[in-house]
């Protein structure tokens, strides 16, 4: 089954992301970019790089979930009563 593309950012989210990117570039790299180039860069990051962070987050969440399931399994095992 093909994966659906991620939903686009809302207008407010895009404005915030572009503004943060503009501030970062200005403050850390002394590069001024306009709103449109910043938005295009945000779209690129989301489309081509964001998946790396997303996939890492999924792996981290899976690890946490597995640990919790193991904890529950151990707790349930501790509740078993002897059959002898």
Query: Which range, of 33-42, 52-61, 71-80, averages the lowest pLDDT?
Result: 71-80
**How do the residues of the chain divide into helix, strand and coil, expressed in percent and rounded to 5?**
75, 0, 25
- Model confidence over 8-36: pLDDT tens digits? 899 999 999 999 999 999 999 999 999 99
Residue with tokens 């989210």: 13
**Within 10 A of 4 (CB to CB), how many other CB atoms are there?**
6
Locate all alpha helices (DSSP H) within the chain, ordered by sequence.
11-29, 35-44, 50-79
Considering the entire predicted model, what is its pTM?
0.67
The domain ranges of the chain are 11-79
Give me the half-sphere count of Cα atoms (radius 13 Å) on the Cβ side of residue 16: 5
Structure tokens, 58: 């999924």
């Amino acid at each position: 089954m093909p994966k659906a593309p991620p939903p686009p950012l809302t207008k407010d989210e895009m404005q915030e992301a572009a503004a943060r990117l503009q501030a970062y570039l200005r403050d850390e790299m002394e590069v001024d970019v306009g709103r449109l180039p910043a938005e295009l860069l945000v779209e690129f990051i989301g489309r081509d790089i964001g998946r790396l962070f997303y996939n890492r987050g999924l792996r981290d969440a899976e690890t946490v979930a597995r640990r919790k399931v193991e904890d529950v399994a151990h707790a349930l095992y501790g509740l078993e009563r002897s059959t002898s």
